[in-house]
Amino acid sequence: MKRIFALVLAIATFTSLPASAGQSARAVKSSSTSTATWAVSAIGQSQIITYQPYSLTWVVTSGVAYDYFALRNIGSVPISNFFVAINKIRLSGNSNPNEIFFERCVGGIWSVSTNQCSGTVALIASASDASFVFSGINLSIGGEISMRARTQASNRNNFSTTLTTYVSRQDIRGQQVTNS
Amino acid sequence: MIKSTSAKRSWRPFAGAAIIISVAAIAGQSVLASLNATAFNTTAQNINAGTLKLDLANSGNGFGASISNIVPGDVVNRYVTLTNSGTLNGIGLTLKTSQTGTASLITDGTGGVTTKALKLTVTSCSVAWNTSTGACTGTTATELNSTVIGSLTSATPLTNGTMSSSAVKYLQMKIELPDQNETTINGALPSNTVQGGAVDVTYTFDLAQRVATITNS
């Protein structure tokens, strides 16, 4: 019995040798792949990007109050559309938060000192709108939309307004196939 | 002085032994001196081993240029050429990858995370690809079905793994980021995201020698 076992072991050993002793050839190369980002941030004047909702705090006792900010493409691809949610919160008093108008200066820039637009003022959102949308635009990488928020003349309560920006996959270019 | 007869005869056995030994020695020498014959090949037999070499060359950009700024749904086709430049036929061509970088681009998300990682598909063409259009004017064959890049860390056989000596494989390496939706809020990327990621991938092709043979001739 021992002899048979030894014979089987020897056969198995020798028959397995050629495969393990065979030659093989190898070819190796590397490459890198990186992905894009799509994002818009609302940024107040002289502010840095906080990655938080943009907050405007109003203390309106008389006349009209203004706030100037920019909606900036901080991603790595141009943006065609994006969505901004508006949330108004009463900070004190009993009245409802004041109405806010969001305006864009098209073809020009805002003058903070005179509150004037050198181009054409376009109303983006008004009154009690809960959101506004930019669609069909081509906001380049690093590009900005210069915005102004304006209250009505009022002496209502203190309140704050926050803006939250949303950019989804559908808001940037479609898929592409490239060969090179 | 008279020697006795018995004394005279005492040396005779020694003399007889000496004669026998001498005869035996002479006979033995005659055996050692027998004829010898030698044969050899006058021209040395030449034996040489085959070689197995696998060359990987870029065709177009190939692996020589980075792929950057892709978005979900994008497909990037790169082209490489594999050549068995050895003298032996090869079998069992395999591909494996190793990668470092953003985890969400290497393996699909699990446990509620729905991110989808990069995928690789390998297709061969019987003639060189048009690297600008992606057209193959010959016959195509799928060598590797679409596979998540992180699943290729062990050697994976290609469909047509035989490469004779001097054989050439024209390969299209299709890298794809599957379509998926992500929404970026206030400029902050989602916690589980494929955005802004980067992966370095190393592609390793292995080819084994043909099966060893026994020949009689």
Is A175 in Cβ contact with B68 (below 8 Å)? no
Q: What pLDDT is recorded for position A64?
A: 85
Contact (Cβ atoms closer than 8 angstroms) between residue A170 and residue B71: no
Residue A9 in this model has a pLDDT that exceeds 50: no
Instruction: State the DSSP H helix or E strand holding residue B130, giving kind and residue range, or none if neither.
Output: none
Considering only CB atoms, A51 lies closest to which of B52, B130, B186, namely B186
A176 falls within a domain: no
The CATH code of the domain that includes A120 is 2.60.120
Taking residue A12's Cβ as centre, other Cβ atoms within 10 Å add up to 9
B151 falls within a domain: yes
Is B80 in Cβ contact with A29 (below 8 Å)? yes
Domain extent, residue B103, equals 54-64+71-181+197-209
B101 falls within a domain: yes
Within B95-174, where are the H helices? none
Q: What pLDDT is recorded for position A158?
A: 72
The dihedral over CA atoms of B136, B137, B140, B145, expressed in degrees to the nearest 10, equals: 10
Considering only CB atoms, A27 lies closest to which of B66, B74, B82, namely B82
Instruction: State the DSSP H helix or E strand holding residue B213, giving kind and residue range, or none if neither.
Output: none
Is B76 in Cβ contact with A178 (below 8 Å)? yes
DSSP B212: P
B201 Cβ neighbours under 8 A, 6+ residues apart: A30, A31, A32, A33, B97, B98, B99, B149
Considering only CB atoms, A35 lies closest to which of B133, B194, B206, namely B194
Is B68 in Cβ contact with A34 (below 8 Å)? yes
Residue A8 in this model has a pLDDT that exceeds 60: no
A23 falls within a domain: no
Is A169 in Cβ contact with B183 (below 8 Å)? yes
Instruction: Please tell me the distance from the alpha carbon of residue A40 to that of residue A142, in angstroms, as a whole number.
Output: 9
Q: What pLDDT is recorded for position A99?
A: 78
CB neighbour burial string for B112-121, b if at least 16 within 10 angstroms, e if fewer:
eeebbbbbbb
Beta strands (DSSP E) in B102-187 are: 119-125, 140-148, 156-157, 168-176, 183-185
B3 falls within a domain: no
Give A15's pLDDT tier (boundaries 50, 70, 90).
very low
Q: What pLDDT is recorded for position B4?
A: 52
Three-class DSSP category at B149: helix
User: DSSP letter string over A23-47?
Assistant: -EEEEEEEEEEEE----EEEEETT-
Q: How far is B34 from chain A (nearest CA, A)?
A: 43
The amino acid occupying position A83 is F
B202 falls within a domain: yes
Instruction: Please tell me the distance from the alpha carbon of residue B82 to that of residue B58, in angstroms, as a whole number.
Output: 9
Lowest pLDDT segment from A67-76, A78-87, A152-161, B153-162: A152-161
**What is the count of structural domains for chain B?**
1
Lowest pLDDT segment from A61-75, A80-94, A150-164, B166-180: A150-164
- Residues of chain B predicted below pLDDT 70: 1-9, 11-13, 22-33
Considering only CB atoms, A31 lies closest to which of B67, B90, B209, namely B67
B203 falls within a domain: yes
The CATH code of the domain that includes B129 is 2.60.120
Select from B203, B48, B180 the least CA-distant residue to A31.
B203
Residue A18 in this model has a pLDDT that exceeds 50: no
**ipTM for the whole predicted complex goes beyond 0.85:** no
Counting residues of chain A whose pLDDT is more than 90, the rounded percentage is: 57
Q: How far is B116 from chain A (nearest CA, A)?
A: 13
B113 falls within a domain: yes
Q: How far is B24 from chain A (nearest CA, A)?
A: 49
* Residue B118: closest C-alpha in chain A: A33
B115 Cβ neighbours under 8 A, 6+ residues apart: B104, B108, B109, B180, B192, B193, B194
A121 falls within a domain: yes
Surface of B (54-83) touching A: CB under 8 A: 54-56, 58, 60-80, 82
Q: What pLDDT is recorded for position A129?
A: 77
A85 Cβ neighbours under 8 A, 6+ residues apart: A130, A131, A163, A164, A166
Average pLDDT estimate for A42-56: 93
Residue A32 in this model has a pLDDT that exceeds 80: yes
A120 falls within a domain: yes
Q: What pLDDT is recorded for position B195?
A: 98
Residue A16 in this model has a pLDDT that exceeds 70: no
Instruction: Please tell me the distance from the alpha carbon of residue A142 to that of residue A144, in angstroms, as a whole number.
Output: 7
For an interface test with B, which of A16, A20, A23, A51 has the most B Cβ atoms less than 10 Å from its Cβ?
A23
**What is the count of structural domains for chain A?**
1
Q: Tens digit of pLDDT for each residue in A87-135?
A: 887 776 666 666 789 999 988 889 989 999 999 999 998 767 789 999 9
Q: Is B18 exposed, middle or buried (0-12, 13-18, 19+ CB in 10 A)?
A: exposed
Taking residue B141's Cβ as centre, other Cβ atoms within 10 Å add up to 15
Domain extent, residue A128, equals 40-171
Q: How far is B143 from chain A (nearest CA, A)?
A: 17
Residue A50 in this model has a pLDDT that exceeds 50: yes
Is A49 in Cβ contact with B184 (below 8 Å)? no
Hey, which residues does A111 pair with through a beta bridge?
A: A116
Contacts of B183 in chain A (CB under 8 A): 166-169
Q: Tens digit of pLDDT for each residue in A158-173?
A: 778 899 999 999 999 9
A157 contacts chain B (CB < 8 A): no
